[in-house]
Structure 1
Amino acid sequence: MRFDSVSSSTSNDCGFSSTKHDPAKDDHTEESSVKLQLRRLEINQEKKRITHSAVDLKIQDFTRIQTLHARVKKAKNQTHEKAKKKIPSVNSPEASSGQLVATLESGMTLGSGEYFIDVLVGTPPKHFSLILDTGSDLNWLQCLPCYDCFQQNEPPVQCESDNQSCPYFYWYGDRSNTTGDFAVETFTVNLTNTEGGNSEYKVEDMMFGCGHWNRGLFNGASGLLGLGRGPLSFSSQLQSLYGHSFSYCLVDRNSDTNVSSKLIFGEDKKLLNHPYLNFTSFVDGKENSTETFYYIQIKSILVDGEALDIPEETWNISSDGSGGTIIDSGTTLSYFAEPAYEIIKNKFTEKVKAKYPVFKDFPILDPCFNVSGVKDNNNLKLPELGITFTDGAVWNFPAENSFIWLTKDLVCLAILGTPKSAFSIIGNYQQQNFHILYDTNKSRLGFAHTKCSNI
């Protein structure tokens, strides 16, 4: 989600003795596979609408980035308190086999670069659409009684008042927020076995936030589903069922609407046997950084194979927890901290301007190029971006992952900058047609160039 929390609090006297109030934190390694289908919404945009969407995405990304930075600063003040507290574990549900199938829609038609996942909550189960976010831990839904809520597409869920004794407060960077009580509920999922049969499976005692006061621009969603590294995230709570890994593969935004992206919980043997699967290690944040984010350590940037002269300290996490690089599903474009961005931008401009004239009348993205003389985009020759990591891994991106077509005649670099010592972020646009594996057990990120529509 674009805002990610910068402040959260819960009562010190939460009643965690009952499973109805237990937060989930378990280290069981029972593994089966769960696969979620991610569905694109149809996009039919003219030049004016595309330009407007580009403005929206840039504003949303910048809001999110400011919030991520603020959260790290907040973590510095919370480090001592966290050390004194330890959240107990919830009773783990029994492991199940099969594949979990759900839908997730691209938010592009709503002016959003986020992805939305459909879930069934409660008994009997009711449908809700939640924003998927690897940069957040808290799962939450708008709940009745709703004292101050934003508009959503489905009626809010009814929470029983006698089950709510552990309050929480999450504040987001644009002053959006959610306040309510922790609760537990049954999440119903559809299982698909290897023979193609379908069945329903109920995950009981799933902990989530029941929000009674919620403000912000959540694009019609009912709440948020967090996939961060913290113990309360959806992925952490499912570890007893599907192990310590999940992956997704996002189809490119120009794909037909009948193809879908995938989200998979559990070990994916086909991915692990992929001939081009590469791994880089997750980096533990400094003492004052947040446990939510997935940090990776960049060594250098390549443009068409040429290593750029960027100071090494640009990529390091500082002693106060700022800086470093994260991979994030909720940020659309990719962002590199200065001076890296200026160096990258200049190198791309240097390599492209000799072939295609620079277009200077679009202030949102920079640089942009006039490619009106190219009749077939397949004949368009643009440089490719590569990232090398300190552990020796290399991630090479095709040109279509680093450039965005605003019209058939205008193409722009889909990379922007953040201030010096701030986060660098690999966003979801650059992750298209890569199968991305989050393996928290071995503390590593996997990536393999894949035609995601074929998964």
Structure 2
Amino acid sequence: MKTVTMLLCLITMLLIDSAYSNTVMRLDMAHRDTLSPKPTPFHRIEDIMGMDQKRHGLISQKIKTKKGGARMSLGSGFDFGEAQYFSEITVGTPAKKFKVVVDTGSELTWVNCRFHGKGKEKREVFRAEESSSFRKVGCMTKTCKVDLINLFSLTTCPTPQSPCSYDYRYADGSTAQGVFGMDTFTVGLTNGRVASIPGVLIGCSTTGTSFHGADGILGLALSDYSFTSKATNIFGGKFSYCLVDHTSNKNISNYLIFGSTPSSTTKAPARRTARLDLNLLPSLYAINIVGISIGDTMLNIPPIVWDVKRSGGTILDSGTSLTLLADAAYKAVVSGLERYLVGVKRVKPEDVPIEYCYDTSKFDDRKLPQLSFHFKGGARFSPFRKSYLIDAAPGIRCLGFVSAGAPATNIIGNIMQQNHLWEFDLAASTLSFAPSTCL
């Protein structure tokens, strides 16, 4: 029986591969700050910093221990009072839609869920037992005991029939507890059709801390059981996204795409390409930054800041909002930018823990020089000024950097990435990027 089941799964995957070899999978993607009710601008910045610092702790802790494809919508969460990006996933049979945070720093895809009558009921939840395609992962299996150990699978096994449980612990003490299962995801294709992807690992979270406005997480980190691995195995070894302005409303979105990027996005300006170091910080998307410049001046930042082997290094992360820099880099960047803000009134908004904020109601942005990140090999990423002098409140803007301490992993967050197309070529281990309106 087991052999027959495996054969049927193989046939299904081959049929999918054949039927959709000339299409692209895509998901709509919107920024998470698009949920209501809206918080005050200052509270929003405070929340962003709190979440980013907790997330940096989690990532640091974690470090220590030719086909077409499909697309998903991707957009800002501004109207939701959140500082990340949302997409919708469709899970189970019959299929149900859930709003999830798109996170390149997480391996586990999970949704709020009920299993055997236990689970969250405040929002719409996934009722696993009502999905005919849901298959629990048994607690006695190698998958549970060995393969999912990095996803915090538990060793407890009350009976051989019990599901594999997890207790996903975050550095700030928040948690997600539930059981692992496999289910079918339904995805939209660029040719207007839909495809079913069977056997995707999903966490059925029955308790724990929820993300405001979201039903769960879409884990896009690179590991054997992440959604990325499953989707790229079918649609080709690439995925891409274009992050709309983080202050966009919920009606503005772009796409998270698995497979080759549509040709319309390859037009001028030409993309720049850098190496994607997939083995330096396992599951995370490490990039080899060698320096930061302001205008024509390369900042004096010690090389140790960029050296992974000496507890430095840099990752690109869609789940972090601001850009976190090791202390030496942070001081060099903010002092370098501050010189161009002399005469602009510096303010300290109440309850905003960010250090450098200014009354820029009469400030000409053109006076602020271009900041650039320099990659090994010569590529240069030059974000728009609004990505590093960010809106905090009407007339008030802040430098969008946070000190991560020392030594520390540097994180280029989603606000710095906005209004650029990013393509992750996992087969070639390259990262390509270019400015874009994302519209």
- If the TM-score is normalised by the length of the shorter chain, which range does it land in? 0.7 to 0.9
* CA-to-aligned-CA distance 1:243-302 (integer Å, 9 cap, x gap): 11111011113446543222111111444454420011022445xx4x110001111111
Task: Report what 1:301 is aligned to.
Answer: 292
Task: Report what 1:135 is aligned to.
Answer: 105
Residue 124 (str. 1) matches residue 94 (str. 2): yes
Q: Distance in 2 between matches of 1:127 and 1:65?
A: 30
Task: Report what 1:388 is aligned to.
Answer: 374
Q: Distance in 1 between matches of 2:392 and 2:201?
A: 42
| CA shift for structure 1 position 96 | 8.5
Q: Secondary structure at the match of 2:59?
A: helix
* Contact 2:316 2:411 (8 Å CA) reproduced: yes
TM score, norm. by length of structure 1: 0.79
Task: Report what 1:81 is aligned to.
Answer: none
Q: Name whichever structure is richer in helix by fraction.
A: 2
- Percent pairwise identity: 30
* Contact 2:113 2:204 (8 Å CA) reproduced: yes
Task: Report what 1:200 is aligned to.
Answer: 194
Residue 323 (str. 1) matches residue 312 (str. 2): yes
| CA shift for structure 1 position 97 | 5.6
Task: Report what 2:44 is aligned to.
Answer: 53
Aligned match of 1:335 in 324, 338, 342? 324
| CA shift for structure 1 position 360 | 4.0
For these two proteins, the number of residue pairs brought into alignment is: 400
Residue 283 (str. 1) matches residue 277 (str. 2): yes
Q: Distance in 2 between matches of 1:332 and 1:447?
A: 18
* Contact 1:159 1:210 (8 Å CA) reproduced: no
* CA-to-aligned-CA distance 1:215-239 (integer Å, 9 cap, x gap): 1132242221111111111111012
Task: Report what 1:86 is aligned to.
Answer: none
Q: Distance in 2 between matches of 1:220 and 1:256?
A: 14
Q: Secondary structure at the match of 1:282?
A: strand
Q: Distance in 1 between matches of 2:246 and 2:432?
A: 22
Residue 233 (str. 1) matches residue 226 (str. 2): yes
User: Aligned-residue CA RMSD in angstroms?
Assistant: 3.2
* CA-to-aligned-CA distance 1:169-210 (integer Å, 9 cap, x gap): 2222222333433322121223341xxxx3332222222223
* Contact 1:156 1:222 (8 Å CA) reproduced: no
Q: Which runs of 5+ in 1 are unaligned?
A: 1-14, 75-94
| CA shift for structure 1 position 410 | 1.5
* Contact 2:278 2:429 (8 Å CA) reproduced: no
Q: 1:224 to 1:258 in 2, by over 3 A?
A: closer
| CA shift for structure 1 position 148 | 6.4
Q: 1:293 to 1:98 in 2, by over 3 A?
A: closer
Amino acid at match of 1:218: F
- Counterparts of 1:16-415 in structure 2, within 5 Å, are 32-39=23-30, 42=34, 49-74=40-65, 99-100=70-71, 102-145=72-115, 149-150=119-120, 152-159=122-129, 163-165=136-138, 166=144, 167-169=164-166, 170-193=168-191, 198-212=192-206, 214-255=207-248, 257-268=250-261, 269-272=263-266, 274-286=268-280, 289=281, 291-318=282-309, 322-354=311-343, 356-361=344-349, 363-374=352-363, 381-415=367-401
Q: 1:42 to 1:372 in 2, by over 3 A?
A: same
Amino acid at match of 1:315: W
Q: Distance in 1 between matches of 2:376 and 2:69?
A: 37
Q: Distance in 1 between matches of 2:113 and 2:249?
A: 36
* Contact 1:143 1:156 (8 Å CA) reproduced: yes
